[in-house]
Amino acid sequence: MDKFTTLTGVAAPLPMINIDTDMIIPKQFLKTIKRTGLGVNLFDEMRYDDNGEEIPDFVLNQPQYRDAKILVAGDNFGCGSSREHAPWAIKDFGISCIIAPSFADIFYNNCFKNGILPIKLPQEQVDKLLEDASRGANATVTIDLEAQEIKGPDGGTISFEIEEFRKHCLIEGLDDIGLTMKKQDSIASFEEKLTAARPWI
């Protein structure tokens, strides 16, 4: 997993509440077990019409937001079924940070496991960032995870909270496998002792 320290990029506004995981990545795209290739299907039913053509009004289809790295959204983001493909699709599109007033618990946890920083903020601060994001390519935002700060296009700063352990894992680029591998010496020592004590196993 890539390390997350600071992130600077365009923020795309998606001021909708209750964006569920089926909206993020519809069920027909869940057959793959790969984490790559799903970005093209992110928000598929909102991005494309029945003929597979882009819907120009959808935010991520607009030229100024095609390379957005940050998403500013409404309350209860990631609700619905617990599909890990949802953060996979978001990450594969190029978005590494989502800012919203609240997140569904499972989606929130899955974000950290896939190198995405979900930031919870009060509604009034989200509204300010949505307003900033409406500027398009001029809506450049910097996320400083170490300082736990969001720097807006006007130079204003918003602080955010994050659990220390989750922060550590993102900064070090540690997913569940990475955390286990940090204990590799202890695991090897245990296995060596176990083999000596119980060679029949």
Residue with tokens 């598929």: 44
Average pLDDT estimate for 24-31? 90
Q: How confident is the model at residue 17 (pLDDT cuts 50, 70, 90)?
A: very high
* Inter-residue contact 16 to 77 (CB < 8 Å): no
> Which H or E run contains 93?
helix 85-93
Q: How far apart are CA 144 and CA 41, in angstroms?
A: 29
- Give residue limits of the domains in the chain: 6-174
Of the candidates 101, 113, 83, the one whose C-alpha atom is nearest the C-alpha of residue 173 is 113
Q: How confident is the model at residue 137 (pLDDT cuts 50, 70, 90)?
A: confident
Radius of gyration of the CA atoms of the chain, in A: 19
1 vs 4, more confident: 4
Strands of 45-191, DSSP E: 70-73, 97-100, 117-120, 140-144, 149-151, 157-159
* Inter-residue contact 126 to 150 (CB < 8 Å): no
**What is this structure's pTM?**
0.87
> Which H or E run contains 159?
strand 157-159
Per CATH, the homologous superfamily of domain 6-174 is: Aconitase, domain 4 (3.20.19.10)
pLDDT, tens only, 48-60: 999 999 999 999 9
Q: How many residues does the chain have?
A: 201
Average pLDDT estimate for 1-9? 94
Secondary structure (3-state) at 37: coil
Q: How confident is the model at residue 178 (pLDDT cuts 50, 70, 90)?
A: low
